[in-house]
Amino acid sequence: MSRERVGARAVEGALDPIAGSAVARAIEVLRGLGPASAALALLGAVALLALTQGAAAIPPQTVLRVLLDALPLVEVNANAPATWERIVVDIRLPRVIAAGVVGAALAYSGASYQGVFRNPLAGPFLLGVASGAALGAAIAIISPLRVDAYGFGWVPVFAFAGALLTVLLVYLLATGSGRLDNVTLILAGVALSAVFGAATAFILLTGGEEARPIFSFLFGGFNTASWQRIAWAAPYLAVGAAFVAVYARTMNVLQLDEEQAAQLGVDVTRTKLIVLAAASLMAATAVAIAGVIGFVGLLVPHAVRLVFGGDHRRLLPLCALFGASFLIAVDTFARTVLAPQELPVGVMTALIGGPFFLWLLRSRRVEVS
């Protein structure tokens, strides 16, 4: 029996029989559609649903006509009030795209960390990368530098520096004996996350009015999403994703022992440094857009790996697609379940991802050390 099928049955067994059979049927449907088709179909359906939900309930067919009419060189009679068009194009669409981009970036970077460290518990949140990026962003916000200087944001630059510093510290602490220790890796990430979180809170409490935007970073959310923010984030995410994708096949070799990978011609140290830097750039940019949103980089890659296997050439793009769908769905729920009050997205992902993480720790099928 294949490893991914064993993993799928482990997930089903952790649930009650009814829920387990539902999960089994969902997995078989996804396999029947094919990985790429299933991921794209799910993303399209979730995004369309998100665009219809809010204070003004807009029918799906109207949303589709408005979107088509907004495309260049396409003329479609939307047959919708002007206010609906503004709601879809100027308010909901940037938010949905931002949630999708951040979800894709976090899941993609999480899969990259897990591949490099050969640890299914690694991720931007548990390694402290998200907290380090948030601290860097907080420093940029209270610094005298202009946030939008020279056509790009200093916030993602400082966030990337914080994320990269964090992952390097975690790596050095976990390899003190010459070999990477997975238990120390997670413990170091949790400890650094607590330290950086405290430093960010100190800046928030002592920074005055200038530090007020930092508050949104602590819980995560997309209520400030805009086309401009998506535009300046796109280059950082594209560069990070491209560098990781180049090393997708090499990351498959890294799943062997490092000595075996070196014998096969892989420059292990160089590969790790490049992938970690690229993944940290993506995680830092996600934090700069939406703040600290935890567990997406842990939950999504693990679930995708169980269903579709661990080949990084397929795993990475699927993680991006399913990660986008997941965070769009969570954001839609967070902004509608108690409307007009909006729940922080980071709180919702913690409520979902926390129990999943505890299940991973308890599962005998996950090798922690």
Instruction: For the chain, list the domains and their CATH numbers.
Output: 34-368 (1.10.3470.10)
CA atoms of 239 and 223, how far apart (whole Å): 26
Scored b (16 or more CB within 10 A) or e, 92-124 reads bbbbbbbbbbbbbbbbbbbbbbbbbbbbbbbbb
Q: Which range is least confidently modeled, 10-24, 45-59, 319-333? A: 10-24
Lookup: tokens for 346? 């980071």
Q: Which one-letter DSSP state was computed for residue 126?
A: T
Select the highest-mean-pLDDT range: 85-89, 305-309, 316-320.
316-320
Which pLDDT score is estimated for 266? 87
Q: What is the pTM of this model?
A: 0.83
For residue 340, cis peptide bond before it (omega within 30 degrees of 0): yes
Which pLDDT score is estimated for 102? 96
User: Of 244, 252, 346, whose CA–CA distance to 292 is shortest?
Assistant: 346
Which pLDDT score is estimated for 251? 93
Mean pLDDT, range 17-25, rounded to an integer: 58
Q: Tokens 């997975």 identify what position? A: 182
End-to-end CA distance of the chain: 24
Angle at 35 between CA 222 and CA 231, to 5 degrees: 30
Which pLDDT score is estimated for 279? 92
CA atoms of 288 and 114, how far apart (whole Å): 22
Handedness of CA 148, 152, 153, 158 (dihedral sign): negative
Higher pLDDT: 176 or 340? It is 340
Q: Is there a contact between 332 and 273 (Cβ–Cβ < 8 Å)? A: no
pLDDT at 31 over 80: no
CA atoms of 89 and 202, how far apart (whole Å): 38
